[in-house]
Amino acid sequence: MTIQQKPTSAPCMAKQRLRVWLRMLKATKLVEATVRENLRVEFDTTLPRFDVLAALYRFEDGLKMSELSAALRVSNGNVTGIVERLVADGLVLRIPVAGDKRATLVRLSIKGRETFARMAEAHAGWVNGILQDLSDEDCEQAIGILETVGRSPKLTAKVDAND
Amino acid sequence: MTIQQKPTSAPCMAKQRLRVWLRMLKATKLVEATVRENLRVEFDTTLPRFDVLAALYRFEDGLKMSELSAALRVSNGNVTGIVERLVADGLVLRIPVAGDKRATLVRLSIKGRETFARMAEAHAGWVNGILQDLSDEDCEQAIGILETVGRSPKLTAKVDAND
DNA sequence: GCTTGAAATTTCATGCTTGAAATTATTGGC
DNA sequence: GCCAATAATTTCAAGCATGAAATTTCAAGC
């Protein structure tokens, strides 16, 4: 019994896809470098800290440490350190969970909320600046294409879930 | 005197571009996570090491440390450590530069060259797998769009140059 | 032949990141 | 009421990454 083979991926397509990946990586690094630099210079903070604040800004009622690390798709131990520093800076609060002494809830302080609001606005501006050459259609297309990445269930790591 | 305003970027476009950025970031992270994981499991190595090997594979005659860090767009001190470990693994050689005791040339050993060749092949396969849903047109479009990122001379960090 | 400035690296402190091991608390069965 | 499995975190060692400071060497000008 022969299996129906898709007319799939001449080896040339593989090369083409690799090129896409390299371009994508390059563009991403450019944006990231800019954001990092601007966060450093204008807010004296870092991208990981910004990411944590963003997640907590979105979930106003706070998140448990494990929920936070899941939301950010980073390791558990990682958030521990970042949150530690954010707490030290007074941007984040740790609240014990009633009825479960293992867990702690983490949420923004007032100051954290205000600070992040300012950062987020600036951030949107930076990104808009770097992507300023993308037209509306470009955006639509890009989003459509990017959404298919990793869609087909190969063994694409155990990443999926929300948003 | 009023300045001629491009019909540019209704605030809505800014939001749209931000969405593109978030998608792009997500897709990139997915690919990167997969590549990292596979490098770790199948070759017991890391992405930064792979990147260094790739650069040296391309420049057969070797690179000076500063050329290497420029090619990879990472800090000088960073490469020092990675190269150190690659030398310890026997994949990379350090060669003094005749006539300049400050600089050293860094290049692949035979073993390094062979090892990287195998890695690169596997790498291309992984990427092709993750991007398998991208058609030829998708690729063309994606590349075209990605190339415009950061094109316009805003203050987009001091990144440009080769490839 | 000095000296001063620039160039090529390394060193350093700090922080991010991971996976694995350890810790502490909860839960369900018995 | 105990006990094993599971869950929520933290701790840890290693490596990556940065910008800044320190080191060593070179290259001109005088």
Query: Distances in Å between the alpha carbon of A157 and those of A34, A152, B46, B124, B125?
Result: 28, 12, 16, 16, 15
**CA of B159: which chain A residue's CA is closest?**
A30
* Average pLDDT value for chain B: 87
What tokens does B136 get?
A: 């030829």
User: pLDDT under 50 in chain A at which residues?
Assistant: 155-163
B75 contact to strand D (CB, 7 A limit): yes
CATH number of B17-131: 1.10.10.10
- Which of B33, B58, B162, B75 has its CA nearest to residue A26? B162
| pLDDT tens by residue, B20-50 | 999 999 999 999 989 998 998 899 999 999 9
What's the Å distance between residue A3 CA and nucleotide C17 C1'?
43
At residue B9, does pLDDT exceed 70?
A: no
At residue B14, does pLDDT exceed 90?
A: no
Which residues, at least 6 apart from A37, have a Cβ–Cβ distance to it below 8 Å? B157
Which segments of A64-107 does DSSP mark as H helices, in order?
Answer: 65-72, 76-88
A154 contact to strand D (CB, 7 A limit): no
Looking at residue B13, its pLDDT comes to 86
| pLDDT tens by residue, B114-139 | 999 999 999 999 999 999 999 999 99
Query: Quick check: A148 and B138 CB within 8 A?
Result: yes
Name all protein residues with C-beta less than 7 A from any atom of nucleic acid chain C: A 46-49, 51, 73-78, 81-82, 85, 99-102; B 37, 40, 64-67, 76-77, 79-81, 83, 97, 100, 102-105
Please compute, for residue B157, the number of CA atoms within 13 A of its CA located in the half-sphere on the CB side: 23
Query: Three-state secondary structure along B24-60?
Result: HHHHHHHHHHHHHHHHHHHHCCCHHHHHHHHHHHHCC
Looking at residue A151, its pLDDT comes to 80
| pLDDT tens by residue, B88-118 | 999 999 999 998 999 999 999 999 999 999 9
Query: Quick check: A19 and B128 CB within 8 A?
Result: no
Query: Quick check: B142 and A18 CB within 8 A?
Result: no
Looking at residue B11, its pLDDT comes to 75
* Average pLDDT value for chain A: 87
Distance separating alpha carbons of residues A145 and A20, to the nearest angstrom: 11
Contacts of residue A154 in chain B, CB cutoff 8 Å? 129-130, 132
A104 contact to strand D (CB, 7 A limit): yes
A64 contact to strand D (CB, 7 A limit): yes
Please compute, for residue B160, the number of CA atoms within 13 A of its CA located in the half-sphere on the CB side: 10
B100 contact to strand D (CB, 7 A limit): yes
Q: Which CATH number is correct for A24-144, 1.20.120.160, 3.40.50.150, 1.10.10.10, 3.30.70.3270? A: 1.10.10.10
Query: Quick check: B27 and A143 CB within 8 A?
Result: no
Looking at residue B8, its pLDDT comes to 53
At residue B54, does pLDDT exceed 60?
A: yes
Average pLDDT over residues B77-90: 94
Q: Is the Cβ–Cβ distance between A78 and A96 less than 8 Å? A: no
Which residues, at least 6 apart from B45, have a Cβ–Cβ distance to it below 8 Å? B39, B119
**CA of B162: which chain A residue's CA is closest?**
A26
At residue B158, does pLDDT exceed 50?
A: no
Contacts of residue A27 in chain B, CB cutoff 8 Å? 24, 146, 149-150
At residue B159, does pLDDT exceed 50?
A: no
Contacts of residue B72 in chain A, CB cutoff 8 Å? none
Contacts of residue A19 in chain B, CB cutoff 8 Å? 139, 143
Looking at residue B160, its pLDDT comes to 41
Looking at residue A11, its pLDDT comes to 75
At residue B18, does pLDDT exceed 80?
A: yes
